[in-house]
Structure 1
């Protein structure tokens, strides 16, 4: 299986080992910790597998409690909190080697006609994704060639990511930069037709670039990193149906960063400018000279 999109679908295909217990793979990576979007996506799959499949998820709220270890399976335990006439609620606990590393609460809503319909317009008239270089192309243009580690990551990357603003490489380039970032994204290949897979794939992607908005005023995104950073929590609200293998715009901003924590908000739009998903996340930022959790 060489297509990164196929590998993502496979990663989200959990093994059911009991009625409310699922096991997910955690690929062996050179990273210090399991990617948070993977854990969130797999947890949402586990929650969705215990519903009737007729109610799409409308919101999730999650906490990253401990770093997960790459290469070690993760067990997802689902609590069936509520099965109402219109809403279904599930609570998921992710356990690795006997320790809880993540928990998530997800709510599913039976589709119904809306009595109130409105939406604020997108922030800017963004360029089309086809007019922008990929991240890999920008790095190659700047460095001449990708470092071996980045080359391996690029081959495994399940999403095509294109920054609306060109990447900044030096401290001088970030002077006066607003804490904002925007990217076009889509899966690098087809993800099939299961709406739950697309929702969980986008959940995976939502953790990839959101904290960029916190870092932009402080350091170049692709230069040497001066901070250790980690996702602390994650919340999403799903407004409209979508496909994660079609282009979506992820508009991100950081309203505040203080006390070692930075808050980031994201809005995900389709090409027609319709708001699909709202995202909020807080991240921990510590100078690399410090340690602890």
Structure 2
């Protein structure tokens, strides 16, 4: 297990403050704002700590309300909305500086039999082991640019292998522009057999590339003064058990964008083609009209 994954697992081990109140922190490396996947994962951990172990989360619906401050802890308040015979509902609010920065509702369900079908089909893509790592792809993009190679040399908690172009590549080659974005990912370590942990880690990874999928549809990339954006809301459905330390294909698409917002959908498949997670996110995308022809007035 590399140091980045150890740090992530430590971040997910929230500190209990009082009944149904927990405290989380952010990585030592200070970014402009807290990564949305981190807040969602920590909120799900907080909810899970208040639910019986025989019930697993089957859905969550979340709103990113304010940017998180990485320099101060995040307090998670859990509201026990309902404890039924089959379902348990929790409402989680993340607070910094006395204000809510994030809210989530999560529903947990006891395991029970039912009819089963899967209409979704995993896209035909290369095996992950045949694809370069994210760092290797980025090395080719940034070349010898100062600072980037040192940053990319640091370990990452998630091993991500991109099937489609990175946003930086599509921004320089119109032939690579696409509303689809397929990414293999896994946590490269033997993780404990805690089902909630694997769900939480999928929630953490789910926020990495959804906004990128909207940018790919327009040949836009981060790092430009013309582009800014953020996650607005996020929904996930967990269909069946899976392991985050085994390869999962995150098949994403952006069916629409406009009015400074974009919609992205994602499906996570096991290597055997089983659909295990569905994701939908709306994001904020602001682009300078003077610098990009796709921007239209309302």
Global fold match (TM > 0.5)? yes
- Three-state SS of the structure 2 residue aligned to 1:119 is coil
Cα pair distance change 1:123/1:248, threshold 3 Å:
closer
Equivalence map 1:12-51=2 (5 Å): 12-51=12-51
Distance, in Å, in 2 between the alignment partners of 1:228 and 1:10 is: 30
Cα pair distance change 1:72/1:288, threshold 3 Å:
farther
Matched, 1:264 2:243: no
Equivalence map 1:3-152=2 (5 Å): 3-114=3-114, 116-145=115-144, 147-149=146-148, 151-152=150-151
Distance, in Å, in 2 between the alignment partners of 1:195 and 1:182 is: 25
- Three-state SS of the structure 1 residue aligned to 2:9 is helix
- Three-state SS of the structure 2 residue aligned to 1:252 is strand
- Does the aligned pair in 1 maintain the 2:62–2:104 contact within 8 Å? yes
TM-score by length of 1: 0.92
Cα pair distance change 1:146/1:37, threshold 3 Å:
farther
- Does the aligned pair in 2 maintain the 1:228–1:288 contact within 8 Å? no
Distance, in Å, in 2 between the alignment partners of 1:176 and 1:199 is: 32
Partner residue, 1:194: 194
Distance, in Å, in 2 between the alignment partners of 1:101 and 1:250 is: 27
Distance, in Å, in 2 between the alignment partners of 1:152 and 1:176 is: 26
- Three-state SS of the structure 2 residue aligned to 1:56 is strand
Unmatched segments (≥5 aa) in structure 2:
291-298
Distance, in Å, in 2 between the alignment partners of 1:153 and 1:247 is: 22
- Does the aligned pair in 2 maintain the 1:170–1:223 contact within 8 Å? no
Cα pair distance change 1:242/1:61, threshold 3 Å:
same
Distance, in Å, in 1 between the alignment partners of 2:42 and 2:153 is: 22
Partner residue, 1:285: 285
- Does the aligned pair in 1 maintain the 2:171–2:221 contact within 8 Å? no
Cα pair distance change 1:241/1:170, threshold 3 Å:
closer
Note the alpha carbon deviations across 1:122-152, whole angstroms, 9 max, x for none: 2521111000001111122344346525643
Cα pair distance change 1:154/1:225, threshold 3 Å:
farther
Q: Cα RMSD between the aligned structures?
A: 2.2
Unmatched segments (≥5 aa) in structure 1:
none
- Three-state SS of the structure 1 residue aligned to 2:8 is helix
Cα pair distance change 1:216/1:107, threshold 3 Å:
same
- Does the aligned pair in 2 maintain the 1:175–1:217 contact within 8 Å? no
Q: Aligned residues, how many?
A: 289
Distance, in Å, in 2 between the alignment partners of 1:65 and 1:8 is: 23
- Does the aligned pair in 1 maintain the 2:135–2:152 contact within 8 Å? no
TM-score by length of 2: 0.90
- Does the aligned pair in 1 maintain the 2:220–2:227 contact within 8 Å? no
Distance, in Å, in 1 between the alignment partners of 2:98 and 2:251 is: 37
